[in-house]
Structure 1
């Protein structure tokens, strides 16, 4: 019951963001400022406090790294096969990318931190870093190659060097690995800031959810939803069970892969020649459907 109440609260905040956008209270400028606060302040603070007292060797095991790569690449390959018959390259590229590109930063890690203990949250921070380094270049490659937008690839990839999520993870793991002491007051303050990551992210995601009345392709969208929030976490369950990882690693990986399609895929689709209206619909569909599937998934692993 507690989990159901918590997820219902997440849905309420998500829909609040949509409502505030509809009424004009959360316009594009305010949404951008909230997004910057979440992305550059709250989420990096959450990642740092989750990792600053832990050595990288205790979090990033060979089994975790191998399992993450297998799940991402296998789901991407399956998506390529499922969507290979789409009518246009613009829609096919978006369908493939949105079938595996997870919303790990804005929903995954904050949700894990609010639901599980510090051990699971620390592993989830590493999952976020490793998968971001995998899925982001892969998504840019798929969209650019299928849509002929090669000129934009390097501009997008250069952003990885200044990605605040990756930088905060690197700093946190470095501090933990060399044993630097972080003053208690600093850690407490950062923990308070990090606790804002989930509500801020949900408001931003909610403000971004919209359907621009495209010619809805129920078959394609249903396939994206099924691959992203059903097949991907199921595959993660199988892979990490076979690898016999510890419970914290198993829980973090499975729940993180159960998150919906990232809102950023809509931005990438618009920039790299994909079907932006189709992308917007899929973000909306996977996000709303994931409220139910995450409840089931967290119940099973919890």
Structure 2
């Protein structure tokens, strides 16, 4: 296969995902959708369609080939290492009030939507299964570590401090975690859903990726990028270039290859999660800088993810 063929094959994976994001931008500009639609659709995805997608992908997965505890452990350790590295850099180069926002924006990726969509585009159901297993680690690690960073450098406006019990209660009740916990025992026991229920579930789950990606595009605001651009640029380069490159190299050095290496790269290379904005706002401010980072990393992702997949394919690693 020539370099041109590899490049075109790479575009066939990444462009459909980012095209939906830009369609979301266009629909919002044309006023065909508004913020009310985005809020409602986002809740539907988070509470219904995405958990269904993860549940069905795991239920139909061959866990003997997709479940790898070493993969989950590596992702957790690499996430912790990237979190600590971002914290160290923030201490050196970022003003104290902005450090928590910077750390969260630089390490927390949108693996649940963008990463999963890319994994599905590259590896089909096997990618969804591997990504679904990783999402349990993603949800726990990203939420807990983000809370730690934000709580260290920010105080709630009401002066009451961080409600840790409420935060951990929300993590334990997270629909994505519950879908993983519900699916794994059924998959291990090789229990199948009735045909009609499985088909209906797939119809419902198929709404997830296009709807979620359109909502991401509709929430982007390039106007916000004019404020605090230096900190925004620094966090975005860390998120989209440094962390994916270093983490993927370490994964390869540890022996991961093929689908597992590809999914790890796609998860680490995902742009900053939109959930970071919600958490920053709920914990006392910094939402403007967070919105800046989300917008810039999402725009950069169409270039950096495509380039990364192309390099890995040319190298024969995935």
Post-superposition offset of 1:2: 4.4
Question: Structure 1 residues 57 and 6 mapped into 2: Cα distance closer, same or farther (>3 Å)?
Answer: closer
Residue of structure 2 in register with 1:272 after alignment: 283
2:143 corresponds to 1:132: no
- What does 1:1-302 correspond to in 2, within 5 Å? 1-5=8-12, 7-54=14-61, 58-86=65-93, 88-149=95-156, 150-211=161-222, 213=224, 216-245=227-256, 247-299=258-310, 300-301=312-313, 302=318
The superposition leaves residues 22-53 of structure 1 with CA deviations (integer Å, 9 ceiling, x where unpaired) of: 44432222111111222222211221121113
User: TM-score, normalised to structure 1's length?
Assistant: 0.91
Post-superposition offset of 1:218: 3.1
SS in 2 for 1:79: helix
CA–CA distance in structure 2, aligned partners of residues 210 and 152 of structure 1: 30
SS in 1 for 2:107: coil
CA–CA distance in structure 2, aligned partners of residues 163 and 103 of structure 1: 16
CA–CA distance in structure 1, aligned partners of residues 250 and 13 of structure 2: 28
The superposition leaves residues 213-261 of structure 1 with CA deviations (integer Å, 9 ceiling, x where unpaired) of: 4763333222211211112222221222232235222221121111000
CA contact (8 A) 2:123 2:259 kept: no
SS in 2 for 1:109: helix
Post-superposition offset of 1:57: 6.4
CA–CA distance in structure 1, aligned partners of residues 224 and 258 of structure 2: 43
CA–CA distance in structure 2, aligned partners of residues 35 and 203 of structure 1: 10
CA contact (8 A) 2:225 2:296 kept: no
SS in 2 for 1:84: helix
Bigger drift between 88-97 and 99-108 goes to 88-97
Question: Aligned pairs, how many?
Answer: 302
SS in 2 for 1:151: coil
CA–CA distance in structure 2, aligned partners of residues 3 and 84 of structure 1: 38
CA contact (8 A) 1:127 1:252 kept: no
CA–CA distance in structure 2, aligned partners of residues 160 and 153 of structure 1: 11
Post-superposition offset of 1:63: 1.5
Structure 1 residues without counterparts, runs of 5 or longer: none
User: TM-score, normalised to structure 2's length?
Assistant: 0.87
CA contact (8 A) 1:54 1:177 kept: no
CA contact (8 A) 1:86 1:92 kept: no
